[in-house]
Amino acid sequence: MILSDTDSTSEIHIDFVPMVDVLFNLLIFFLLATSIAQVEREMRIALPATEASGPISTALREMVVNVDESGAIFIAGRQVSHEDLRAMVTEAIRANPDQKVSVRADRGASYGVVARVLDICKASGADQPFLDTVPIE
């Protein structure tokens, strides 16, 4: 007499290893994607607080100029001089007349340095360079 084991054939086996692999790959992808988008905003600059501050956008047409506490000017994580800033803004405006320029200056930066950066941007053709701030809490 031949007996068959019906319990072993009725079990459903779900392998979770491929699902976990896919989830880890998605997690890594989104972590990398968000860190690449933050290249312009990764400098440690303490923005001043104002009542009429707007949200910080990462529009594709936005050029971000960072000014640290010592007055050094950075674009795309690279320190630039006043002449380089003028050339870069002029070239960006020439390539795209709707180019937006956003200046992110540390609250400890000298007012004269920030005014000079805004003046260079305006003289280079930027219609209204925007000065980033954070809301008062």
60-91 residue pLDDT tens: 468 899 999 999 999 988 999 999 999 999 99
Q: What is the per-residue pLDDT for 59?
A: 42
Domains of the chain are 1-137 (3.30.420.270)
31 or 105, greater pLDDT: 105
Q: What is the per-residue pLDDT for 117?
A: 94
Query: 60-96 as b/e, with b when 16 or more CB fall inside 10 Å?
Result: eeebbbbbbeebebbbeeeebeeeebbebbbebbeee
- Report field, pTM of the whole predicted structure over 0.75: no
